[in-house]
């Protein structure tokens, strides 16, 4: 009995070790960022995580009024805004603010028309080259997947606890920390011309984007505080949504599936006990 | 071992079919009446789990392939559209990606079981070798599958791994060009990798059938390492092994589902959410976790091997690293002949147990090193750990067979079982008196 317990413990230990390796490869070593990202208590954290629709709406506003000047959102279509609780007319009106090229028409000519809900989000630049040249040689990355494309190494043993706490907010935590992390460089810091010191930046001590957010930059109509900190939170949550619009559905589904499998495993355990009851082994 | 068939078709159609294509008989003999040792533990359930994992990968793979485009300009986006716009697309994609990791978790536990209980020893050498071939095919499949989403790690991982082939003297560059379909990783590479990634799982399925066939010729080992001697030692596969395997499988899937639904990106790499860009090299190119130990071995060899007292380089560091890496896998083929002990199970080999424990811990540590950059303290550690890895196979295993004094083994499986239940108290002895009827 004890031996079989030991063995079960061994299987479990090996499985954990293997997962640990997985965690490691996902978070390779590097000297940057200087500071680890701050942890925000997102509404979408944990097994019951869900979107805070009000927050996503505010995030959209911040994106539209600030970030969209430089960053595209190529994978999203206007119709996706239905998830944020907007009506068809609201979405059509939002889309109509942008122009897209269409055609050729019957005369074989290309023409521009206002965007429709089925169109993808119109970006600020015609192409990557234009984006780079407009930003002094730095490319403002497309934002659709940005919240999944950054994960700062969590370090030992945190990444083991992450399995049990279901920590998966690396991306939004990183973006929030970056946006609120601009500060004066310490005296000994070597900051290249045209870069802005930020100890939360993943690939160096400074980045080409200057601090985009200031208090009272965007007007909120739901009473949320109009602070840079709140803007940063809202836009980070919004970017998590653009990176995985189905996140809350995935978690809801997962809850049912895992629960079902555990109950099923329990039933099988008792069945097995019964079947094996008269067999010594 | 398999004995003669006890299958009795009952229906008219069953009899008609049995005289023409005795498929049901084959199934009955393999999965119902097939005798298994009565003392198998949890480690013996991973073979069955692997079967189901293969099926699970094929099913999810076929579905996501319906939405995937293997064109370098659209591949990345097609995966995103699958995740966003296809019903259950995100689920299928996560299940396939996380499933690959869990396939490897199962195969490593399965291999470790075989190494500890001496499953590779006569008469199971062919069974073992078929297993190693499956493992190699799995690695090839996983590597090519990882390239398909065409993210930054896909691209640069492919760049690094196909570069190994250019280390081969004289023909290396030509081999690499054939592999890539060009001078560097590109659209042609993506297309052939997609084609092969779709093909290899079916080759794995074919070899797995041979693997199980070989298993059914020799029968399974068991924790005592003593071969089955009488009908007392065995119980029929159904219901005993069936229910046990089913339970293990459901627990395994529950753990996997936890990752699929709550931590789908935990085992992956964030850089793969950035589309492949030949002009931007990621800060650290790291393979998926299941390749990390071998990646450490590769980078441990950072020196040329020269003919002593001359400057003539026999094996340069690049070729050396590649040879060591492939050697670390290929040495598994020779395991049946490297282990000179005629005691099968590690339970009765006190020194072997220590060596095996060190081997496992070292293998995990080697994986950790694989995730570190090849600089500073990590390089000497990689070298030491690589040395320990190979030392297990040569000279420790061959030597142990001669110097080790094994513990006394039970006369039969039933003896071992009886002894164990005596230790556990009277209640179980009564149980063992009521023998189940093993028709086997
Ligand atoms: C797709 C991958 C694989 C599948 C589907 C598979 C399937 C199975 C099954 C169903 C069994 C019997 C149940 C058990 O003992 O767990 C088995 C046994 C075995 N497998 Fe595998 N296997 C796979 C990979 C491997 C690999 C990679 C190796 C070794 C390198 C291996 C070596 C063995 C050996 C030696 C046995 C006999 C075990 C014993 O009776 O002690 N298998 N396999």
Atom 26, ligand 1: residue with shortest CA distance: B131
Whether the bond between B123 and the residue before it is cis, its omega within 30 degrees of 0, is yes
- How far apart are the C-alpha atoms of B387 and B393, rounded to whole Å? 10
CB contact at 8 A, B203 and B130: no
CB contact at 8 A, B92 and B63: yes
A166 CB-near residues (< 8 Å, 6+ apart): A45, A46, A47, B262, B263
- How far apart are the C-alpha atoms of B144 and A36, rounded to whole Å? 34
Q: Which atom of ligand 1 is nearest to the CA of B219?
A: 40
Fold of A2-73+141-245: Cytochrome Bc1 Complex; Chain D, domain 2 (1.10.760)
CB contact at 8 A, A149 and B270: yes
C-alpha B30 to ligand 1 mean position (Å): 15
For helices B292-300 and B317-330, what crossing angle results, to 10°? 140
Q: Report the CATH number of the B30-281 domain.
A: 1.20.810.10
pLDDT tens by residue, chain B, 440 residues: 445 788 999 999 999 999 999 999 999 999 999 999 999 999 999 999 999 999 999 999 999 999 999 999 999 999 999 999 999 999 999 999 999 999 999 999 999 999 999 999 999 999 999 999 999 999 999 999 999 999 999 999 999 999 989 988 889 999 999 999 999 999 999 999 999 999 999 999 999 999 999 999 999 999 999 999 999 999 999 999 999 999 999 999 999 999 999 999 999 999 999 999 999 999 889 999 999 999 999 999 999 888 888 888 888 888 999 999 999 999 999 999 999 999 999 999 999 999 999 999 999 999 999 999 999 999 999 999 999 999 999 999 999 999 999 999 999 999 999 888 887 754 444 444 444 444 33
Identify all chain B residues contacting A245, using CB atoms and an 8 Å cutoff.
84
C-alpha A9 to ligand 1 mean position (Å): 22
pLDDT digits (tens, 9 = 90+) for A10-50: 555 555 555 555 555 444 445 789 999 999 999 999 999 99
Identify all chain A residues contacting B273, using CB atoms and an 8 Å cutoff.
145, 148-149, 243
CB contact at 8 A, A244 and B263: no
pLDDT digits (tens, 9 = 90+) for B98-114: 999 999 999 999 999 99
Instruction: Tell me, rounded to whole angstroms, the distance of Cα B104 from its chain centroid.
Output: 6
CB contact at 8 A, B413 and B233: yes
pLDDT digits (tens, 9 = 90+) for A80-101: 999 999 999 999 999 999 999 9
Task: Return the pLDDT at B420.
Answer: 84
Instruction: Tell me, rounded to whole angstroms, the distance of Cα B317 from its chain centroid.
Output: 28
- How many CA atoms does the CB half-sphere of B407 hold within 13 Å? 13
Identify all chain A residues contacting B374, using CB atoms and an 8 Å cutoff.
none
- How far apart are the C-alpha atoms of B296 and B391, rounded to whole Å? 16
A222 CB-near residues (< 8 Å, 6+ apart): A54, A57, A58
Residue B350 tokens, joined: 């006190």
The band of A1, judged by pLDDT with boundaries at 50, 70 and 90, is very low
- Regarding beta strands A196-197 and A206-207, do their DSSP bridges make them parallel or antiparallel, or are they unpaired? antiparallel
Main-chain dihedrals φ then ψ at residue B343, nearest 5 degrees: -90, 130
Atom 34, ligand 1: residue with shortest CA distance: B128
DSSP A33-51: -SSPPPPP--TT-STT---
Query: Rounded to whole angstroms, what are the CA distances from A89 to A85, A119, B37?
Result: 12, 15, 69
Tallying the residues shown for chain B, one arrives at 440
What sections of B219-316 are H helices per DSSP? Answer: 242-262, 292-300
C-alpha A37 to ligand 1 mean position (Å): 44
- How far apart are the C-alpha atoms of A35 and A33, rounded to whole Å? 5
- How far apart are the C-alpha atoms of B273 and A5, rounded to whole Å? 41
Task: Give percent of chain A above pLDDT 70.
Answer: 89
Query: Rounded to whole angstroms, what are the CA distances from A3 to A8, B47, B164?
Result: 9, 22, 44
Is there an atom of ligand 1 within 6 Å of B224 CB?
A: no
**pTM of the prediction?**
0.91
Enumerate the β-bridge partners of residue B234.
Answer: B37
A28: left (phi over 0), alpha (psi -120 to 50) or beta: beta
User: Which ipTM value was assigned to this complex?
Assistant: 0.90
- How far apart are the C-alpha atoms of A90 and B58, rounded to whole Å? 43
Q: Tokens 């990752």: give the residue.
A: B259
Mutate to test the interface with A, among B151, B231, B263, B272 (most CBs of A within 10 A): B263
Task: Return the pLDDT at B315.
Answer: 87
- How far apart are the C-alpha atoms of A62 and A55, rounded to whole Å? 11
Atom 32, ligand 1: residue with shortest CA distance: B131
pLDDT digits (tens, 9 = 90+) for A140-167: 999 999 999 999 989 889 999 999 999 9
Q: Which atom of ligand 1 is nearest to the CA of B44?
A: 16
Identify all chain B residues contacting A254, using CB atoms and an 8 Å cutoff.
257-258, 260-262
Tell me the mean pLDDT in the region A269-273. 96
The band of A280, judged by pLDDT with boundaries at 50, 70 and 90, is confident
DSSP B78-137: HHHHHHHHSTTHHHHHHHHHHHHHHHHHHHHHHHHHHHHTTTTSTT-HHHHHHHHHHHHH
Q: Would you list the domain boundaries of chain A?
A: 2-73+141-245, 254-281
Q: Which atom of ligand 1 is nearest to the CA of B48?
A: 10
CB contact at 8 A, B104 and B267: no
- Best CA proximity match to A178, nearest among A148, A145, A205: A205
Identify all chain B residues contacting A82, using CB atoms and an 8 Å cutoff.
none
CB contact at 8 A, A170 and B270: yes
A12 CB-near residues (< 8 Å, 6+ apart): none
Query: Rounded to whole angstroms, what are the CA distances from A139 to A208, A235, B159?
Result: 9, 20, 24
C-alpha B113 to ligand 1 mean position (Å): 9
A20 CB-near residues (< 8 Å, 6+ apart): A159, A160
- How far apart are the C-alpha atoms of B358 and B356, rounded to whole Å? 5
Is there an atom of ligand 1 within 6 Å of B124 CB?
A: yes
Is there an atom of ligand 1 within 6 Å of B135 CB?
A: yes
A281 touches B at CB < 8 Å: yes
Q: Would you list the domain boundaries of chain B?
A: 30-281, 286-407
How many CB atoms are located within 10 Å of the residue A265 CB? Answer: 18
CB contact at 8 A, B79 and B279: no
Which of the 8 DSSP states describes residue A122? P
């Amino acid at each position: 009995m004890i031996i079989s317990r030991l063995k079960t413990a061994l299987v479990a230990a090996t499985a954990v070790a293997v997962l640990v390796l997985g965690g490691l490869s996902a978070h390779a070593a590097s000297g940057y960022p200087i500071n680890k990202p701050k942890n925000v208590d997102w509404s979408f954290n944990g097994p019951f995580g869900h979107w805070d629709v009000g927050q996503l709406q505010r995030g959209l506003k911040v994106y539209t009024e600030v970030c969209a000047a430089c960053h595209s959102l190529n994978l999203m279509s206007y119709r996706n805004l239905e998830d944020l609780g907007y009506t068809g007319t609201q979405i059509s009106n939002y889309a109509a603010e942008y122009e897209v090229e269409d055609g050729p028409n019957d005369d074989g000519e290309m023409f521009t028309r206002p965007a429709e809900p089925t169109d993808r989000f119109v970006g600020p630049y015609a192409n990557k080259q234009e984006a780079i040249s407009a930003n002094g040689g730095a490319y403002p990355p497309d934002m659709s997947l940005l919240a999944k494309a950054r994960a700062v190494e969590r370090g030992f043993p945190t990444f083991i606890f992450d399995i049990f706490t279901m920590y998966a907010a690396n991306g939004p935590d990183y973006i929030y920390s970056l946006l609120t992390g601009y500060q004066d460089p310490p005296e000994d810091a070597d900051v290249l011309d045209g870069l802005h010191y930020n100890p939360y930046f993943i690939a160096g001590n400074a980045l080409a984007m200057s601090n985009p957010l200031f208090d009272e930059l965007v007007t909120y109509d739901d009473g949320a505080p109009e602070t840079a900190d709140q803007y940063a939170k809202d836009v980070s949550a919004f970017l998590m949504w653009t990176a995985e619009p189905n996140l809350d559905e995935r978690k809801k589904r997962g809850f049912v599936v895992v629960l079902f499998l555990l109950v099923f495993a329990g039933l099988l355990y008792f069945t097995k006990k019964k079947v094996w009851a008269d067999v010594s082994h | 071992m398999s004995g003669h068939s006890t299958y009795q078709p009952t229906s008219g159609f069953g009899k008609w079919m049995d005289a023409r294509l005795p498929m049901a008989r084959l199934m009955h003999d393999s999965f119902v009446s097939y005798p298994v040792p009565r003392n198998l533990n949890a480690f013996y359930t991973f073979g069955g789990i692997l079967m189901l994992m293969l099926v699970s990968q094929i099913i999810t793979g076929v579905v996501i392939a319906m939405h995937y485009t293997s064109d370098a300009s659209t591949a990345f986006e097609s995966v995103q559209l699958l995740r966003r716009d296809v019903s259950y697309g995100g689920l299928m994609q996560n299940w396939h990606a996380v499933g690959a990791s869990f396939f490897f978790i199962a195969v490593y536990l399965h291999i470790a079981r075989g190494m500890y209980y001496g499953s590779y020893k006569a008469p199971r050498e062919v069974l073992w070798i078929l297993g190693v071939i499956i493992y190699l095919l799995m690695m090839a499949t996983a590597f090519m599958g990882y390239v398909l989403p065409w993210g930054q790690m896909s691209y640069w991982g492919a760049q690094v791994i196909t570069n190994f082939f250019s280390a081969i003297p004289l023909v290396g560059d030509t081999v690499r060009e054939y592999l890539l379909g060009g001078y560097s990783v590109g659209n042609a590479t993506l297309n052939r990798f997609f084609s092969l990634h779709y093909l290899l799982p079916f080759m794995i399925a074919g070899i797995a059938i041979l693997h199980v066939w070989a298993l059914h010729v020799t029968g399974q080992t068991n924790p005592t390492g003593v071969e089955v001697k009488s009908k007392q030692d065995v119980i029929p596969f159904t219901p005993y092994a069936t229910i046990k395997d089913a339970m293990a499988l459901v627990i395994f899937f529950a753990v996997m589902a936890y990752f699929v639904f709550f931590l789908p990106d935990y085992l992956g790499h964030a850089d793969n959410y950035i589309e492949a860009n030949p002009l931007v090299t990621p800060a650290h190119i790291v393979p998926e976790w299941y390749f990390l130990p071998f990646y450490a071995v590769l980078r441990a060899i950072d020196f040329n091997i020269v003919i002593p007292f001359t400057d003539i380089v026999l094996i340069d560091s690049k070729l050396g690293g590649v040879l060591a890496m492939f050697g670390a896998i290929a040495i598994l083929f020779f395991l049946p002949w490297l282990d000179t002990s005629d005691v099968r199970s590690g339970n009765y080999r006190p020194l072997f147990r220590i060596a095996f424990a060190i081997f496992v811990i070292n293998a995990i540590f080697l994986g950790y090193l694989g995730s570190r950059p090849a600089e500073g303290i990590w390089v000497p550690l990689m070298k030491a750990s690589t040395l320990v890895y190979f030392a297990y196979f040569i000279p420790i295993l061959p030597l142990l067979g001669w110097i080790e004094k094994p513990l006394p083994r039970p006369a039969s499986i039933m003896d071992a079982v009886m002894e164990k239940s005596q230790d556990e108290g009277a209640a179980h002895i009564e149980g063992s008196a009521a023998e189940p009827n093993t028709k086997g």
